[in-house]
Amino acid sequence: MERTCYNSDLSLDNVGQKVSLVGWVAKKRNLGSLVFIDLRDRSGIIQLTVQEGVEIPDIRNEYVISVQGKVAKKDVPNKNLKTGDIEVIVSKIEVLSKAKPTPMIIADETDALEDLRLKYRYLDLRRPSLQSNLIKRAKIVSIAHDYFDKNGFIEVETPCLTLSTPEGARDYIVPSRISHGAFYALPQSPQLFKQLLMIGGMERYYQIARCFRDEDLRQDRQPEFTQIDLEMSFLDQDQILSIMEGFLKRVFKECVGYELKTPLRRMDYAEAVDVYGSDKPDTRFELHLKDVTKILKQGDFNAYKDVETIKALVIPGEAVNTSRKVIDSLTLEAKKFGFGGIGVFKVLDSGVESSLLKFFKEETIQEFVKAVDAKTNDLVLVLAGKHDQTCFALGALRSQYARKLGLIKPNTYDLLWVVNFPLFEKDIHDGSYKALHHPFTRPTPETAKYLDSDPSKVLSAAYDIVINGYEAGGGSLRIYDQDMQNNVFNILGFSNEDIVRKFGYFVKAFEYGTPPHGGIAFGLERLSMIICGTDNIRDVIAFPKNLRAACPMSSAPQPVDEAQLEDLGIEIKKE
């Protein structure tokens, strides 16, 4: 069973050589005097040819076999295979392991739905596309180790059993067997610990860190995920972003052969939201949002009277394709964002059509059409309300139409930094503030003066790396001044007791000399998604959870034995 090489190591250069190969049977074709077997290993598929006179045991799909033979040139090459110019003429074949008929086709074009694929994930993983994804993910991690090691970073592991702290999402909590009624939390991120490493004098830290968040799932989220996590002392924002761009340049070059041009452009949060309707704008296509507040407030439509902003989105050529059914679906989409409805205007040869025309004078409608630069057969969608809420809703429709109309060129990459976020967001109901990123983000020097007078004006020294409309990573400069940190805690409504209970050890460390520092974390799964060209995060994770945060393969989560609960001092409340 000694293997001499992987399948895809072989080429025309190896013709005439004796080889020993192992792998799974992908396909078998019996032509009487000849038997052809497609042998699959991690590197790919190679054709085996078994001639008359060679003993062939019972072989079926997914049997694991070992073969010996000689490499030969094919009479008719298969251009679809990397090894398509050659075959192996088999002299000996042995079955190492038998297999039952599989519940799914083991190929990139499988017939299985995702739930079945997840239930039999060990079979799904044999598909070349998934193996390629995991290999690319591993390549990104390898580049991270090499690049950051060479740039003076020290890899340090931080605890997985931590104190529960408010970081935006629900914690996964772990009961203590030693201290009944007390709980650890699994880390949402290593945030506090990596800052403490800076106070500890490490200066440059990185970690391939496992993180856990108990939040509602979607295509690009999982309850457990991995960050390429970094923190640096004595560097300003420009220096940090430059180092990160060097890392991304290597990732794109070595993983997909794309030459990334640096420095990357930077876009203010305000522009991203105002023009693209997103804090993670996909700028590979146009469809910019237009402000029509002054124009449409001139009419008699009450819904447009006392609003903060009115925004429009022009969809080229879609007026004739927008039926009553489509308008109803657009209305439902608007309602997901808290709007009662959506304004729909069709610019046709015969003029403008809309159920809202009766509320506006003809000259107002003409001014509106000119302002948004709508052409004949264009569709114009309008929403009115709070500025960010309005922009985000239209931004979601912008992305949907871009996919529907094929406006995004395949195999293209667009990277930018989004900077100058608000430090706080204000609750529309009670006027309280919460941190847009986290409570340890440093204000920009120009706006820190508003902390006491008007926190809504304070911008943060935060930066998100956006790739093709995904937030692939984010970070900030951190607060390192005790008084400023306490001020931010107070603005967020933390009492002194809250600060001591939730962050006591952290703020205590600030009393002993804290260097200026900042950091960033890349989402390994999201970065891998982009590199692999998929929009499903489960395609780049070996054993993912489904949208119900469950594992169909292992059936986790499940109840545990009563004895285990007794050890922990826990009683399950009966519903």
> CATH code for 7-97?
2.40.50.140
Joined together, the tokens standing for residue 129 give: 């596309």
154-155 and 204-212 strand pairing: parallel
3-state secondary structure of 69: strand
Domain limits of the chain?
A: 7-97, 113-261+515-561, 285-404, 420-514
- d(CA 420, CA 492) in angstroms, rounded, equals 19
Q: Which of 463, 531, 477, 436 has the alpha carbon at shortest distance from 264?
A: 463
Joined together, the tokens standing for residue 177 give: 């067997």
Domain at 285-404: CATH architecture: 2-Layer Sandwich (3.30)
Say what the pLDDT of residue 410 is. Answer: 86
Say what the pLDDT of residue 145 is. Answer: 98
Say what the pLDDT of residue 273 is. Answer: 98
309: CB partners within 8 A, 6+ apart: 291, 293, 384, 385, 386, 387, 390, 391
- For residues 303, 309, 310, 315, the Cα torsion angle rounded to the nearest 10 degrees is -140
Which residue type, as a one-letter code, is found at position 209? A
Superfamily of domain 113-261+515-561: Bira Bifunctional Protein; Domain 2 (3.30.930.10)
Q: Which of 420, 120, 155, 415 has the alpha carbon at shortest distance from 262?
A: 415
pTM: 0.93
Q: Are 126 and 102 in contact (CB under 8 A)?
A: no
Assess whether the region 7-97 and the region 113-261+515-561 belong to the same CATH fold.
no
Q: Is 459 left (phi over 0), alpha (psi -120 to 50) or beta?
A: beta
- d(CA 219, CA 224) in angstroms, rounded, equals 14
3-state secondary structure of 424: strand
Q: Report which DSSP code applies to 170.
A: B
Rg of the chain over all Cα atoms, to the nearest angstrom = 29
Crossing angle of the two packed helices 237-256 and 128-150, in degrees rounded to 10: 140
Say what the pLDDT of residue 167 is. Answer: 64
pLDDT in tens, the chain (575 residues): 689 999 999 999 999 999 999 999 999 999 888 999 999 999 999 999 999 999 999 999 999 999 999 999 999 999 989 999 999 999 999 999 999 999 999 999 888 999 999 999 999 999 999 999 999 999 999 999 999 999 999 999 999 999 887 666 889 999 999 999 999 999 999 999 999 999 999 999 999 999 999 987 776 789 999 999 999 999 999 999 999 999 999 999 999 999 999 999 999 999 999 999 999 999 999 999 999 999 999 999 999 999 999 999 999 999 999 999 999 999 999 999 999 999 999 999 999 999 999 999 999 999 999 999 999 999 999 999 999 999 999 999 999 999 999 999 888 999 999 999 999 988 877 878 988 888 999 999 999 999 999 999 999 999 999 999 999 999 999 999 999 999 999 999 988 888 888 888 898 999 999 999 999 999 999 999 999 999 899 999 999 999 889 999 999 999 999 999 999 999 998 87
Query: What is the CA 387 to chain-centroid distance, rounded?
Result: 26
Q: Are 321 and 301 in contact (CB under 8 A)?
A: no
- d(CA 545, CA 172) in angstroms, rounded, equals 15
Say what the pLDDT of residue 495 is. Answer: 87
DSSP 482-521: HHHHHHHHHHTT--HHHHHHHHHHHHHHGGG----EEEEE
Phi, psi of 358 (to 5 degrees): -65, -15
3-state secondary structure of 346: strand
Q: Is 465 left (phi over 0), alpha (psi -120 to 50) or beta?
A: beta
